[in-house]
Amino acid sequence: MTDNDPLPDSDDVMRASKTLENIAHRTPVFTSSTLDRRCQTEVFLKCENLQRVGAFKFRGAYNAVTMLSQSERDKGVITYSSGNHGQAIALTGKLTGVKTVVVVPTDAPVAKRAAATAYGAEIILHERDQMRREDVAAELQHQHGYTLIPPFNHRDVVAGQGTAVAELHQQIDSLDTIVVPCGGGGLLSGSALASRAMAPECRVIGVEPELGDDAVRSFRTGSIQTVSNPQTIADGTRTESLGSITFPIIMDKVDDMVTVTEQAIIDAVAFLLLRTKLLVEPSGALGIAALLSGAVSGSGRTGVLISGGNIDPETVKTVLTTASEH
């Protein structure tokens, strides 16, 4: 951590909650007796797959942009993301009138690129093997005076992303555990900030795919570990490592981290789809994968953060073909 990376605290999350009032959807919390029976505990699904742009990322993006100064807004913002954060920044730009630029790898799904374009973002394509997307963004930032809003390692992004769990604690009393997916750790660290402040006794557990277990190794060793381009189906968690902001918060406020296999993720997506009738992307199903596979043992009232629902039709078909049971 440096002086340029101030850590957010729970007050930042509460402030973000106010900012997002009537802007972000207050997403519903779902329950299902089948889910409870299979997870052997009382489960509350916080459905951020029903959030604007189909993911919690909208909360962080919108909060971060509204925290900028007027002169920063006038120059515009830039981000790099092939997925939900890019769409979230693009929609935020449309809602706030701020120019947005999204750096997207040429091999990103056309549908995701089209969504960002539809919201009016400028799309910059880059060849993944020629240059790091961070470097492309930095160069454009330098040229045009854009402000960079990265996908997770940013105080106001983390604070905004934490508002989903803040809302969950308002909606559901006395949760004993919350289970949260972890990629770069923005959602997990923001959730932990909110949860520690609002429900200090509630356990906070992060879940990562086994194939991209850098955060679990970081948590166990106490220093940031990396993973290189993990081929997990949970594309929202293919980040290289936790960040300078998310890591210390996770070390301080998260109770445990667990991993789940690719099969467990696939089975969780199929289960959520066919039994609860909700379309959840693989990263969004990590919490249910952890409960169904026993990586997290169900006990008491368990809040599960369903982080997003943006999954392309081919992946849905693959999941239905390869799930263990229906």
Geometric angle at alpha carbon 113, from 281 and 63, rounded to 5°: 70
Residue 111 or residue 131: which is nearer to a second copy going by CB? 111
Q: What tokens were used for 58?
A: 């909208």
Would residue 18 show up in a list of annotated catalytic residues for this protein?
no
Distance separating alpha carbons of residues 235 and 307, to the nearest angstrom: 12
Shortest distance, position 118 Cβ to a second copy, whole Å: 10
**Interaction between residue 120 and a second copy (CB under 8 A):** no
Piece of the chain touching a second copy by CB under 8 A; list 4-12, 15-23, 145-153, 268-276:
268-276
What is the amino acid identity at position 103?
V
Site for a second copy in 270-309 (CB under 8 A): 270, 273-274, 276-280, 309
Shortest distance, position 50 Cβ to a second copy, whole Å: 6
Residue 98 or residue 270: which is nearer to a second copy going by CB? 270
C-alpha dihedral sign at 188, 190, 194, 200: positive
**Interaction between residue 37 and a second copy (CB under 8 A):** no
Distance separating alpha carbons of residues 81 and 171, to the nearest angstrom: 31
> For the window 7-36, what string marks contact with a second copy as x by the rule CB under 8 A?
---------------------x-x------
Residue 92 or residue 241: which is nearer to a second copy going by CB? 92
- Element housing 304 (H / E): strand 301-306
Considering only 4, 69, 71, 321, the residue that binds a second copy (CB under 8 A) is: 321
| Count of beta carbons in the 10 Å neighbourhood of residue 159 | 31
Considering only 8, 16, 54, 307, the residue that binds a second copy (CB under 8 A) is: 54
Residue 45 or residue 289: which is nearer to a second copy going by CB? 45
Geometric angle at alpha carbon 79, from 168 and 309, rounded to 5°: 40
Would residue 82 show up in a list of annotated catalytic residues for this protein?
yes
Catalytic residue among 82, 191, 218, 307: 82
DSSP E strand boundaries for 12-162: 29-30, 42-47, 77-80, 100-105, 122-126, 147-148
Residues with catalytic function: 57, 82
